[in-house]
A and B are shown apart, each in its own frame.
Chain A
Amino acid sequence: MTAELAEPASKIELPAHIGGGGEIPTFDVTLRVRRYNPEVSEDATWEDFKVTMYGTDRVLDALHKVKWEIDGSVSFRRSCAHGVCGSDAMRINGRNRLACKTLLKDLDTTKPITVEPIKGLPVEKDLIVDMEPFFQSFREVMPFLINKGHEPTKERLQSAEDRERFDDTTKCILCAACTSSCPVFWTDGQYFGPAAIVNAHRFIFDSRDDAGDMRLEILNDKEGVWRCRTTFNCSEACPRGIQVTQAIAEVKQAILSRKI
């Protein structure tokens, strides 16, 4: 079977003054992908792919091109392709990013672009890691509204200021970029990790929620917030720009002021 384009280029007649797609500059990039297939070998290896990409393309597009046109066995997760679902966090040039939000032209295309799975979670194949430990910690902080009062007949109202208090941490898409950038998590997989704390923060500081104390108690664990070393790797990694380290510090403060 000849290599056939999975997605043929769309043909739209554009008037000359608008200009065609050809105006977007193209360039060659080398994608250096960390390959791992436990059914073949226990060792992970690097594999280089050379692809011609456009200036508007992202790392995800390059991965698609590789998978669709060169080697269909390259495995990675992605769903929305627009930075919403959080499934394609990976280590690109040594930094945790979403492949669908990283433009190739923003990287140094003269050198190979390294693409690895996120660190600290067990790799299943190529760029796919087992997210179960990550979600286990997420579930443990009870990321849902717990309200002791009577169920209101209409919506639960909240002032704009009260809503603002936890606005930043509502943005999390559970991509695990933060947790897998944390050096504490790399060596101690039992640490709850920044993402779980961010999602606890979202409910701890919600005026409509009544279980803040329970969540603070859960995070006052030896594997909880006190494990944080304030290295700011998580804040730097978060594709949603959440001030993760600050959220962790606020949870620390809340535990302290409750206990003392």
Chain B
Amino acid sequence: MTATIDSPRSGKNSSGKISPQYRRTGASRGNFEMFAWLFMRLSGVVLVVLIFGHLFVNLLVGEGIHAIDFGFVAGKWADPFWQIWDLAMLWLAMLHGTNGVRTIINDYAEKDSTRLWLKIVLYAATTVIIVLGTLVIFTFNPCPVVDGVPLPGGFCPA
């Protein structure tokens, strides 16, 4: 009579030694994760300057917080300097935040389907906000005229 003794450490399922959740699914090509990592550091540094500059100009200079109204924003966006400033802030903050949340999803979502859906929602939200924000910065019109009647505002030249 012969008995078969499993070789030690052959695991519960004889098909493979390592259970599937540990097996790396092929090497990823490209440097995407490296650039994502680098982007987080660089955009973080730039955002510190942009955001504190933004807060300083809006809240502390001149009349400070009391000066902020529709007209104040309109005045700022009439200047290409602030257009570029706000555009950079919008894009960098959105991409920085999106990448951060993408990382959190990767870290915490355990099921592939959950991960996929969370990322679809994330990327959709990011796209909408970036497109909308960019549009507003460049097409902002402080004195819109609807059907020949200027909308009330009080700061537009009559």
Residues of A within 8 A of B (CB): 122, 130, 132-133, 136, 183-184, 187-190, 218, 220-224, 226-227, 229, 252, 255-256, 259
A229 touches B107 (CB 8 A): yes
5 pairs from A and B in contact (CB 8 Å cutoff): A122-B19, A132-B9, A189-B21, A224-B33, A229-B107
Q: 7 closest Cβ contacts across the A-B interface? A: A133-B22, A226-B33, A222-B28, A189-B22, A189-B21, A190-B24, A226-B37
List of B residues within 8 angstroms of A256 by Cβ: 34, 38
Total A-B residue contacts, Cβ distance less than 8 Å: 53
Q: Which of B25, B31, B37, B108 contacts A190 (CB 8 A)?
A: B25
CA distance A259 to B32 in the complex (A): 12
List of A residues within 8 angstroms of B38 by Cβ: 256
Residues of B within 8 A of A (CB): 9, 11, 17-19, 21-25, 27-28, 31-34, 36-38, 103, 106-108, 110
B21 touches A220 (CB 8 A): no
Task: Determine the residue in chain A with the shortest Cβ distance to B108.
Answer: A187
CB distance from B24 to the nearest CB of A (A): 5
CB distance from B14 to the nearest CB of A (A): 14
B31 touches A259 (CB 8 A): yes
CA distance A122 to B11 in the complex (A): 11
CB distance from B119 to the nearest CB of A (A): 14
List of B residues within 8 angstroms of A187 by Cβ: 107-108, 110
CB distance from B117 to the nearest CB of A (A): 17
List of B residues within 8 angstroms of A252 by Cβ: 37
CA distance A130 to B17 in the complex (A): 10
A136 touches B34 (CB 8 A): no
B28 touches A221 (CB 8 A): yes
CA distance A130 to B33 in the complex (A): 29
CA distance A122 to B13 in the complex (A): 13
A221 touches B22 (CB 8 A): no
CA distance A220 to B31 in the complex (A): 7
CB distance from A7 to the nearest CB of B (A): 27
List of A residues within 8 angstroms of B19 by Cβ: 122, 133
- Knowing that A132-B18, A187-B108, A190-B25 are A-B contacts, what are 13 other residue pairs whose CB atoms are under 8 Å apart, sorted by A's residue number? A122-B19, A132-B17, A133-B19, A136-B22, A187-B107, A188-B106, A188-B107, A190-B21, A221-B27, A221-B28, A222-B33, A256-B38, A259-B31
List of A residues within 8 angstroms of B103 by Cβ: 229
CA distance A65 to B18 in the complex (A): 33
CA distance A227 to B25 in the complex (A): 15
Contact A255-B18, Cβ < 8 Å, known A218-B27, A221-B28 = no
List of B residues within 8 angstroms of A229 by Cβ: 103, 107
Q: Which of B11, B34, B36, B107 contacts A259 (CB 8 A)?
A: B34
Contact A184-B107, Cβ < 8 Å, known A226-B34, A252-B37, A259-B34 = yes
List of A residues within 8 angstroms of B106 by Cβ: 188
B27 touches A190 (CB 8 A): no
List of B residues within 8 angstroms of A223 by Cβ: 24, 28
B11 touches A132 (CB 8 A): yes
Task: Determine the residue in chain B with the shortest Cβ distance to A217.
Answer: B27
Task: Determine the residue in chain B with the shortest Cβ distance to A220.
Answer: B34
CA distance A224 to B31 in the complex (A): 11
CB distance from B41 to the nearest CB of A (A): 10
CA distance A133 to B19 in the complex (A): 8
